[in-house]
């Protein structure tokens, strides 16, 4: 995929950079693999806002993606590659030999007409899904299961992948994009290749309206609020908050470790790299 720029007829088009979708499917999604996607607008099941500044956005349907890849010993054909408004990478529609259709995450370099296969006997090529124990070290994979049969959880965003570093008994060692190195059960499934749409990170929204189409509402800084509304609020004139950055509920907003899962600590060989300035 390539990036698309615009002539600077307006202030917004001058800075806008978008993804060129000319090579993607231009029709509607496969109807039986869609479901209604009603926006929660940042509210939980009690109707209380738990994620602020969410709401509105363009109406769209959810595409039902198969993250499990359990359809073994049946080959599929890539019918088309589509845009999915619910995720950053593209998706592909697969038609299997038994006439069943499924949506999968689309890796880079996959083409319409390519054959797709799942299972331990699948060929080592882009788009095929195999157990980690059957994939050699050094290969890049995505949609990796943390527990066997639980469905892919790791490396599902645009342009992402993890690298298989080696084998340790019944576990496979993988290196993630964050720098974290951890062990995963070798029976877990993973799909070969790097996910599509790597230029997603280079998009420049260009104007406030496009953020509203995406369901992002205006964000008010804490320092311009009153003390009753935010810990940074109040003060005479333009104050700087007077404390380390926190959320409206008082939780630290800069580098606070919130992970609390000691049960899986033993599987992490090396922690992720710290970001600059932290």
- Total domains in the chain come to 2
Residue 11 lies in a domain: no
Same structural domain, 154 and 267: no
Same structural domain, 59 and 175: yes
Domain that holds residue 98: 19-201
Contacts of 96 (CB under 8 A, 6+ apart): 71, 74, 75, 76, 77, 102
Residue 1 lies in a domain: no
Same structural domain, 42 and 89: yes
Residue 74 lies in a domain: yes
Q: Which of 172, 204, 186, 177 is nearest to 3 (CA)?
A: 204
For residue 259, what pLDDT is reported? Answer: 87
CATH number assigned to the domain comprising residue 78: 2.40.50.140
Q: What is the Cα gyration radius of the chain?
A: 22
pLDDT digits (tens, 9 = 90+) for 5-26: 999 999 999 989 999 999 999 9
CATH number assigned to the domain comprising residue 224: 4.10.950.10
Which of 144, 167, 201 is the C-terminal boundary of a domain? 201
pLDDT digits (tens, 9 = 90+) for 156-175: 999 999 999 999 999 999 99
Same structural domain, 104 and 224: no
User: What stretch of H or E contains 15?
Assistant: helix 11-15
Same structural domain, 108 and 160: yes
Residue 212 lies in a domain: no
- Cα separation values, 186 from 120, 173, 206, 212, Å: 12, 9, 44, 43
Same structural domain, 129 and 253: no
For residue 275, what pLDDT is reported? Answer: 66
Same structural domain, 194 and 229: no
Same structural domain, 185 and 277: no
Same structural domain, 172 and 258: no
Which of 167, 201, 235 is the C-terminal boundary of a domain? 201
Residue 158 lies in a domain: yes
For residue 95, what pLDDT is reported? Answer: 97
Mean pLDDT, the chain cut into blocks of 10 residues (278 residues total)? 90 93 95 93 94 94 96 95 96 96 97 95 95 95 96 96 94 95 96 96 94 95 94 91 90 89 92 69
Residue 277 lies in a domain: yes
Residue 106 lies in a domain: yes
Same structural domain, 148 and 267: no
Same structural domain, 251 and 162: no
Residue 207 lies in a domain: no
Same structural domain, 142 and 231: no
- Cα separation values, 220 from 107, 208, 217, 228, 232, Å: 38, 14, 10, 14, 12
- The model's pTM: 0.90
For residue 241, what pLDDT is reported? Answer: 80
For residue 1, what pLDDT is reported? Answer: 61
For residue 122, what pLDDT is reported? Answer: 93
Which of 138, 168, 201 is the C-terminal boundary of a domain? 201
């Amino acid at each position: 995929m390539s990036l698309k720029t615009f002539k600077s007829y307006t202030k917004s088009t001058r800075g806008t950079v978008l993804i060129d979708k000319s090579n993607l499917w231009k029709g509607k999604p496969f109807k039986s693999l869609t479901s209604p996607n009603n926006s929660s607008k940042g509210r939980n099941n009690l109707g209380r806002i738990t994620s602020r500044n969410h709401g509105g956005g363009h109406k769209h349907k959810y595409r039902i993606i198969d993250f499990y890849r359990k359809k073994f010993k049946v080959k599929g054909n890539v019918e088309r590659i589509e845009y999915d408004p619910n995720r950053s990478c593209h998706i592909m529609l697969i038609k299997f030999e038994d006439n069943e259709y499924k949506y999968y995450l689309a890796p880079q370099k996959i083409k319409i007409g390519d054959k797709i296969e799942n299972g331990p006997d699948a060929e080592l090529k882009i788009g095929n899904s195999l157990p980690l124990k059957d994939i050699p070290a050094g290969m890049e994979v995505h949609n990796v299961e943390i527990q066997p049969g639980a469905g892919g959880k790791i490396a599902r965003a645009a342009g992402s992948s993890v690298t298989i570093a080696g084998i340790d008994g019944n576990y496979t060692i993988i290196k993630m994009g964050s720098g974290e190195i951890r062990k995963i059960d070798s029976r877990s499934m993973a799909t070969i290749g790097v996910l599509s749409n790597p230029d997603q990170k280079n998009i420049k929204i260009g104007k406030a309206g496009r953020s509203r189409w995406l369901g992002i509402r205006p964000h008010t800084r804490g320092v311009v609020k009153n003390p009753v509304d935010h810990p940074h609020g109040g003060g005479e004139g333009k104050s700087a908050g007077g404390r380390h950055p926190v959320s409206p509920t008082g939780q630290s907003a800069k580098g606070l470790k919130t992970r609390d899962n000691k049960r899986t600590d033993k599987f992490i060989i090396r922690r992720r790299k710290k970001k600059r300035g932290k």
